[in-house]
Amino acid sequence: MGGRLTSSTGEFNGNRAFVAGTDPTSGLVLRFVPQKNLKYGVKNLKYGVKNLKYGVKNLKYGVKNLKYGVKNLKYGSLVALGSIAGGLLSGPAVRFLGRRGTVIYALGPVFCIGWLCLAVAQSATLALFGRFVTGCGQGLGTIAIPLYISECSTPKYRGSLASMAQLMVCIGVASCYSLGAALEWRPLAWASLSLVPIVVFLTFLQPESPAFLVAQGKIQDAHKSLSRLRGVTGPQIEEEIQALEVQILEERSQKLELSSLLNKEFLKPFFLCQMTMIFQQISAINIVVFFTVDIFESAGSSIDDNVATIIVGVILAGATVVGTVLADKSGRRILLLSSGFGMGVALGALGLFFYLDTRTDTDTSSLGWLPLGSLGMYVFCFSIGYGPMPWVFMSEVFSPRVRPFASAFSGAFNWFIGFVVTSTFAGFKSGVGEDWVFWIYALANFLGCLLVFLLLPETKGKSLQEIEAYFKGVTPIIYKEAETNQQTNPVFQADEVPLPSSSSSNQSGVAVSKNPDPA
């Protein structure tokens, strides 16, 4: 141990440790210095090993947190995946069960099963299954409800009524955010479950879509349904039923084949509908909603996370009210253009804030208003246009023959794009940074504005028959809404009877006029 002192210089055999001082007695003290240093070295080595263990342990925690992150991503994405499945199932459902029947016999039971699984779940598997099933219900609802509203309403009010479906969604989101601040997830699931029977019962009291009843050959039931919806009886109802019969007879005279899906009259509205669905999702609405808390924190706000999400939900609902009012006043095109441009500006401003905050030495503490203002502007602009309008447009542009299939595909496609956008956001953000993420989505919104301006026709105030005829390249004389001093409800007045035998009919059997293109 230690080495032996052989001279007054303090030189040790074997160790050659240098000792300061020449006092012989100092060797008695210094001979223990190498031993003490060795002990410190061993002790430090032990600390090093211990720290290495802590490092490995922290690495394990990091991997575990990553696994939790992936698990949470899967948990959240199951709703989108379920919505894709529900969207695909909605086509056969609305065709065979009817629009109202789909809500009663499909959507209601599916939501009951999903929320019940979540409410009683004692395992992650059952909870995940519940999330998927509620997603299926969401997919069914986003197709059946817009179709029902579109086929039951008049051209004058169709846009506003269809937009109310999105308004109800936003009110539901705001309500869940508010309840979620006070309730745990299990009581919240029970609360959601309790609303499903109420919705089913109220839907049961409503009439079925007249267009669906006519297609099923239930003409008398269609008369009753339409009389109840319009609030009038008499020739006006008969004339509208005749128009539906002519349209459906024309559709049945043409077999639905693959070649018919390659015609311009189908491909053009199909492409335009998918275009609006794509730009609705890549407008980054889900990303902005998910990023809400981070935006509030970046702004230096001390607002609680629950309060921040409630604020967003309230803005969504309030702005959708504005969009509902404007849908049949301003038109679909102007709302989509205003919405896309406003969202692009807001996302550009958000990107600028994160650029200054993360890539420069700029003190952004005085710019806390910028992300908050941008967030509010973005949510408002989305709600007046790209929130409801793609669903309104989807319910208008397809002919009855392909409407169930085309609407089902459009809804499923919408949810698929949403799933892709949200599931790739984390990697996208880590790759280019928050600033460029928002700038890229801002450019996508401006591109959407350009395509809407160049390609999308205006459907405000047009009947479903007029819209169908526009894509066929003809202009039918369909019933016009008349306002008289005696009638406060909108009724229909025919310029001429659109029967297939009319001399003014085209080959498809729909009466046409020489008026210019309605769009």
Over 80: is that where the pLDDT of 407 sits? yes
Q: Please report which confidence band the pLDDT of residue 119 belongs to, taking 50, 70 and 90 as the band edges.
A: very high
Q: Please report which confidence band the pLDDT of residue 279 belongs to, taking 50, 70 and 90 as the band edges.
A: very high
* Topology at the third CATH level for domain 80-206+263-466: Growth Hormone; Chain: A; (1.20.1250)
Q: pLDDT at position 159, please?
A: 85
Q: What percent of the chain is modeled with pLDDT above 90?
A: 34
DSSP assignments along 239-304, one per residue: HHHHHHHHHHHHHHTS---GGGGGSHHHHHHHHHHHHHHHHHHTTTHHHHHHTHHHHHHHTT----
What is the mean predicted confidence (pLDDT) over 104-128? 94
- State the pairing for strand pair 480-482/491-493: antiparallel
Q: Is 201 in contact with 189 (CB distance < 8 Å)?
A: no
Over 50: is that where the pLDDT of 440 sits? yes
What is the mean predicted confidence (pLDDT) over 194-200? 94
Over 90: is that where the pLDDT of 167 sits? no
Q: pLDDT at position 295, please?
A: 73
Over 90: is that where the pLDDT of 202 sits? yes
d(CA 24, CA 8): 6
Residue type, 507: Q
Q: How many CB atoms lie within 10 A of CB 33?
A: 15
Q: pLDDT at position 35, please?
A: 52
Q: Please report which confidence band the pLDDT of residue 253 belongs to, taking 50, 70 and 90 as the band edges.
A: low
Q: Find, among 109, 98, 199, the residue nearest to 147 by Cα.
A: 98
Q: Please report which confidence band the pLDDT of residue 43 belongs to, taking 50, 70 and 90 as the band edges.
A: low
Q: Which of these ranges, 209-218, 277-286, 472-481, has the smallest mean pLDDT?
A: 472-481
Over 60: is that where the pLDDT of 474 sits? yes
d(CA 266, CA 406): 9
Q: Please report which confidence band the pLDDT of residue 26 belongs to, taking 50, 70 and 90 as the band edges.
A: very low
Q: Which of these ranges, 63-77, 206-220, 264-278, has the smallest mean pLDDT?
A: 63-77
Averaged pLDDT score across all residues of the chain: 77
Q: Which of these ranges, 19-28, 147-156, 242-251, 441-450, has the smallest mean pLDDT?
A: 19-28
d(CA 278, CA 267): 16
Over 50: is that where the pLDDT of 479 sits? no
Distance of CA 493 to the CA centre of its chain: 39
How much of the chain is in helix, strand and coil states, percent to nearest 5? Answer: 70, 0, 25
Q: Which of these ranges, 21-35, 269-283, 394-408, 447-461, has the smallest mean pLDDT?
A: 21-35
Q: Is 190 in contact with 119 (CB distance < 8 Å)?
A: yes
Q: Is 447 in contact with 312 (CB distance < 8 Å)?
A: no
Q: Find, among 491, 420, 400, the residue nearest to 154 by Cα.
A: 491
Q: Which residue has the higher pLDDT, 426 or 388?
A: 388
Most confident of 195-199, 296-300, 434-438: 195-199
Extract the tokens encoding 12. 């040790």
What is the mean predicted confidence (pLDDT) over 311-327? 84
Q: pLDDT at position 47, please?
A: 52
Q: Which of these ranges, 187-191, 348-352, 431-435, has the smallest mean pLDDT?
A: 431-435
Q: Please give the DSSP secondary-structure letter assigned to residue 490.
A: -
Over 90: is that where the pLDDT of 121 sits? yes
Q: Please report which confidence band the pLDDT of residue 67 belongs to, taking 50, 70 and 90 as the band edges.
A: very low
Over 70: is that where the pLDDT of 393 sits? yes
Over 60: is that where the pLDDT of 507 sits? no
